[in-house]
Structure 1
Amino acid sequence: MKPNGWIIYNGNLPGSKFIDYAEMIQEAAAKQGSDMKIYKNNALLSLLATDQLGIVQLDKAELPDFVVFADKDIYLARQLELIGIPVFNSSKAIEISDDKIASYQFLASKNIPMPKTIIAPKIFTTGKVDYKLVEKAVEQLGLPLIIKEAFGSFGEQVYLLHSLEEVIAKIEVIQSRPYLFQQFIPSSYGKDLRLQVVGNQVVAAMERTNTNDFRANVTSGGTMKKYTPTKEEATLAITATKAIGADFAGVDLLIGPDNKCLVCEINSNAHIRNLLDCTGINAADFIIVHILEVLS
C-alpha cells in the first residue's frame, strides 16, 4: 500500500498559484496510488507542552505518512518533523532557501560558482548610513551593483543601483532588514535559466528573457521558452540543490562571461505551472515519484 500524505500551503497569501501547486502535487500523487489531502498552514496548530508535542487539526484527521511542504512556515514544518513525519523539502532546506544570505553562504562553502557577494552587517533599528561601509562594498563589487533583501520572492526586493547615491538612498529605506550587496552580471541582464531539479536529475528547464527589466522573472514581465541545459549547467543546478539539502528545487542560473553560469537563487518551493506551460513537462510527477522512492 502506498503511503498517504498531506500537502501544506500558505492559507493567507492572495492569488491562486499556491493552491494550484498543491493541486498539481495532489494529482501527481493520485496517479501513483497515493492519497494526499491539501491543508492550509493556518488550519494546523503546533502544540507544545512539557509532556506534549503535536499537531492540533481542525478536522482531526489521521496524521500523514509524509508531507509535501509548499510553504515557508518553517516552524510548522519543523513541528511535523519533530513528531516523526518526513517533510519534503525539509524545514532546514526551506529555511536556507528562503534566506538569500544563508543560501549564498552554503553555496560559497561548497565552492559553487556564484556572483561575488557582501553581507551587510545586521542592525536592529535605523540610523545614519555608514558611508565607509558603502564605499567599501562599491570598491569590492563595482557599479552598478545589486542589493538584495534576504527575504523576498518573484524577483521582488532585488534592486539594481547605478551610483553611490542610489545605493545609499536604498540602504536608508531597507537598513532595518537583512540584505546583501552583490556583483552585477551584465551578460545576464534580463536573462536567466530556470532548471527544475528533482533528486539527481534536471527534469525540465526554460530560458527566461525580459527586454524591459534586469530581472528575468515572468512576474516581472519576462517571457519563457523551453531550454535544454548543458551537462555542466545541469550538474551545477543539482550540486546547488544538494548544497542546501533539498530534494527538489527550481535553480536560477545567471549567464556569466564566456557563457559560464553562476547560481543566482535556489527555490525550494518553486512554482511549476509556468514550467509545465513552457515545456509540457509536469515536475509534480517527478517530485512524487522521487518522494515515494525515498520513503520505500
Structure 2
Amino acid sequence: MTHAGVRIAILTDETGWHTGRLKKAFRARGAQARCVDLADCRIDTTWQPHGLVVPGFGHTLPDAVFVRGIAGGTFEQVTLRLGILHALRESGVPVYNDARAIERSVDKSMTSFLLHRAGVPTPATWAVESSAFAQRVLMREAAAGRQVVLKPLFGSQGHGLKRLGARRGGLAPLPSLGPYRQVAYLQRYVAGERPGFDWRVMVIGGRAVAAMRRVGGKGWIHNFAQGAVCEPADLAAPLAQTAVQAAAALGLDYAGVDLIPNPDDAARPLVLEVNGVAAWRGLQSVTPVDLAAALVDDLLDRKLAAQRRLLDQTDPAAVDVAVAALRGRHA
C-alpha cells in the first residue's frame, strides 16, 4: 500500500546516515518526509488553527512525526521540545515515539522502575540524591563480594560509567556526584563471560526484528561507540520475548534494548537499558533486515493507520449533537 500525499516530519537535530535511510524508505512508500529540528518548532497561539508551528508545514501539521533525535540543552529548552511533542500528540498527530515514552526511556531511574514493576529481569538498581546512602549501598554490595556501576541518569553510548566496589587495598570511596548532577544511579554489576559482550535487540511495533552481539569495546563497556565489534545474533525466544516486554513496559513504538546474560537463569536475560531514540547503524551492518523500511512500515501501517481508523469511526453527527448540548448548558 502506498501513502501518496502523506507528509512526515522527521524530528532530528542532525542529518546523516539515519535520516537518509528513513527518507528513502518513506519515498518508497509514496510518503514525503522532511527533516525538522525541534529547536525550530514553536508554540504560537496566534498561529491558526493549531497554535503550533512546524517549519515546512505552513499552517497545517504533518500527518505523522518520527522522532529521530532531540538535542540536549538547558532544562527549559528540553522541556519546551518535549512539550512540542506532547502538543503534537494532543493535536491528533501520531508521534513515533511519543514524548511520554521518550521521557521514560531517557530517565534511567524510571526505566529501571518500570522494568521492575513489569517483572522484566533487570539488575538491582538504586537512584538517590544522598551521597551517604549511595556509599552505604556501595559498602553493603562490596561486603557481599559484588560491585556496582555508577551511571549518569541521562546519558548514552557508554559515557560516564564507573565500576565501583571492593578492590585490592580496600574499598574505594564513592566519587563526587558533581559530574553526575548530584544524583547517584547505581546498578549492580553482573560479571559476564570473557571476552565480554552484550546484546542489542531492535523492537519495532511490539516485535523483535533483529539482534546483534557487541563484543569487546572499552574494557567491560560494550557500546559500539566505545569500539565494540558487532556480530549477528540469533533472536532466540528468551532474548526476543524479554526485549519485547521491556519495550512494552515503557510504551515505546520502537526501541533498542540492551541485554546481558543472566548468570542465575539462562532463560531470562537481564535488561540493562532501553533506548527510545535508538540508533541502528551498527545493527544494520550485521542483519539482512532493512531496519529503516521496517520502522517506516510500522509507522505508516500501524500507528498512522490506527489514528485514521479512529478518525473514520468518529460520527460527525454525534459530534455536532455533543457540541450543541455543551452550548446549551452555557447559554
* TM-score normalised by the chain length of structure 1: 0.86
The structure 2 residue matched to 1:179, chosen from 180, 184, 190, is 184
* Identical residues among aligned pairs (%): 24
The structure 1 residue matched to 2:162, chosen from 159, 162, 186, is 159
With over 3 angstroms needed to count, the CA separation of the structure-2 counterparts of 1:84 and 1:191, relative to structure 1, is same
The structure 2 residue matched to 1:281, chosen from 270, 273, 289, is 289
Shift of 1:218: 1.1
Other structure's SS at 1:197 match = strand
1:271 aligns to 2:279 (yes or no): yes
1:261 aligns to 2:263 (yes or no): no
Shift of 1:140: 4.5
With over 3 angstroms needed to count, the CA separation of the structure-2 counterparts of 1:211 and 1:48, relative to structure 1, is same
What is the alpha-carbon distance in structure 2 between the residues aligned to residue 65 and residue 224 of structure 1?
36
With over 3 angstroms needed to count, the CA separation of the structure-2 counterparts of 1:167 and 1:207, relative to structure 1, is farther
Shift of 1:58: 4.5
Contact 2:141 2:147 in 1 (8 A): no
Matches within 5 A, 1:128-277: 129-130=131-132, 133-140=134-141, 142=144, 143-163=146-166, 166-169=172-175, 171-174=176-179, 176-187=181-192, 190-210=196-216, 212-257=218-263, 258-259=265-266, 260-277=268-285
Other structure's SS at 2:293 match = helix
What is the alpha-carbon distance in structure 1 between the residues aligned to residue 173 and residue 94 of structure 2?
43
Other structure's SS at 2:255 match = strand
With over 3 angstroms needed to count, the CA separation of the structure-2 counterparts of 1:264 and 1:188, relative to structure 1, is farther
* TM-score normalised by the chain length of structure 2: 0.78
Shift of 1:243: 0.4
What is the alpha-carbon distance in structure 2 between the residues aligned to residue 166 and residue 27 of structure 1?
52
With over 3 angstroms needed to count, the CA separation of the structure-2 counterparts of 1:69 and 1:172, relative to structure 1, is closer
Matches within 5 A, 1:83-98: 83-98=91-106
Deviation string, structure 1 residues 187-233 (Cα, Å, up to 9, x no partner): 16731000000113211110001164111101111101111121111
Shift of 1:137: 4.1
Q: What are the ranges of 5 or more consecutive residues in structure 2 without an aligned counterpart?
A: 71-80, 306-331
Aligned to 2:39: 42
Matches within 5 A, 1:6-45: 6-11=9-14, 19-45=16-42
What is the alpha-carbon distance in structure 2 between the residues aligned to residue 160 and residue 216 of structure 1?
14
Equivalent residue letter for 1:183: R
What is the alpha-carbon distance in structure 1 between the residues aligned to residue 202 and residue 230 of structure 2?
14
Equivalent residue letter for 2:202: Q
More strand by share: 1
What is the alpha-carbon distance in structure 2 between the residues aligned to residue 271 and residue 293 of structure 1?
22
Contact 2:12 2:36 in 1 (8 A): yes
